[in-house]
Structure 1
């Protein structure tokens, strides 16, 4: 791609640009006026008298990655998953956390992930943070430092993550206080310590009500890891929805994964989706990570992709996002914090095409709404001129290639999209010298 010659200063027109319309699959060919770092006008193509031209290429709003694990990222070289399973991932991460997660180690890997995401065109990230006290206090301090350091480049939100039973008693109150102190989101996984996402454990409802009470008392949103397995007995999602409805919970709730929903009987699926819709719960799917972990067994080809029922949820009016989840750690060995890759993968894995419809919003407007970010996820007059520019002219072109030659604008200016070198982490993760 010959990059458009974006002016280094001053106001300008960006001519002949295709931007998402309604539905997002449609593309409107326009000229954009960029002034004082914002979109000052959107006019029919041919309006602008001068300025760099995209020659009909696409522009998307900078991306919103609403489910990540930046504190775990990039530990694969020193702590790979021994067998690629969910259980293997948990064991490897727990061992690595105990052995290595100093503030300096976490900060370096976390910042590396932010640099990758920024270069790829992401402007907002919600990251889950392993919150096991007392260690979690250090992780949240690192998060707060990086959130402040990256302000204006990436809007960063933090979410606690731990098994739900860790929220009981004094530890749960202290954990929730820690989240509130840092302006975070209360999160947990719907399994007990040492267990998997299988049969619903005894006492789950009482613990769930306690978790809701912790959030209510502190005015916190909630973001939960739910039913991340192929076990139909793992059906905590309808319990979560009924609890939110019964309590009249007024804050935002997002649930991630809900892999087992796609394996439930049709009647259970219909009832669960209706409850989720009525409770105002948003869903995020992590297609790359779920496809990597779910239905894995030695010497056996997987029969199931692990993704949840995106089409059915969206058709019912449930807000649906897709996100990157883990990156180069035991839960997912690959990835580069690139939302173009995430969207391309989601389209292919979950068949989000024919028509593409509004599925592009799953990495822009919808997650921006979940995070409460009014200035993210849309190209509109008054919004920041935070755009990702592509030489490609149509969705089928964008979905076909890696788009490694994209141009990223922040406040109307082209940024350096050079990715950080993995060698920067060598001293921490000790890659194989071979």
Structure 2
């Protein structure tokens, strides 16, 4: 057995136990609960969830934090360590394990409903390979650096909360980042932006869909509902789940406004949208009315296409886009459409950046400014044009020195002179 580290743990062959789980409840005061291996609610996590809810965190954030805490709880269970007895060595081993461990393969819900718990085989040949159409790499076999960074932040915050409450260990096993060595000329030493075990996360530029690729994606859609959704996402910059909150009364074609509920603030906001989006929406609404979709100002705007009709959910919308991706061999995401709308608006010199900030719902203008630089496609096109100019310049004939008669040079070297 290969042992790694001072703790003597075999992190290479360690398998995370499938014990416990994160369960969604119908109680609005407790949207999610974490269960241990015996099926009991984990009290320390339950208190932490209550703190998050009191701080105004939505249920989606609580679920995201809960998945990280579940991973940590399973790791401690595998080594028979209590949560309040976790040491810095345990946190260090957890960070090392996440860097090398293969991601668990989930069982599709349809297979689970049939009683088949065997996961689908992983396509190792395509894992981490950039897509030929979009340039985005496919998900790798190990945890991404962003997942590891998010997990470290959540666990450090969890133990910091219990440290303040006096209900956890006296030392946070996930320490804050150490001071880095001062650079020459700097007035004071700089500190790391996160915890000591937080990996370095590379800066990721927004990925928009080029106009030609967007037209291909739009042409691959089969239904007017899907065309309307894509047109709205690419014109008003709403997040994917925000657009699905619209009611039938929220669409105002005469004013070219569509009302949505913002993800973070939960405020209602009317977003200006393109004329084409409302044209496709009208075509979809007429089809929906004839097919028997519930009608009314308080009814949802977006519905499934087959009976029994249900309001369109995020996962169903993502499946719609994935079907179009399969036809094109691409891997565009719904969030790429928001980036596309943001990039188009931010690059318009006649549109104020503060207006773009309001439409996108950004709290800080610096977030909107990331869409100002040219995208990858524009940079590649500009550099290729530069190379073409250099090639044409190299093909031009040299200028003869003064004093030579042009007719003599033409006689010797041809009319190119």
Q: TM-score range by the shorter chain?
A: under 0.3
Greater relative contact order structure (CA < 8 Å, 6+ sep): 1
| Higher strand proportion | 1
| Higher helix proportion | 2
Question: Could you tell me the TM-score, scaled by structure 1's length?
Answer: 0.24
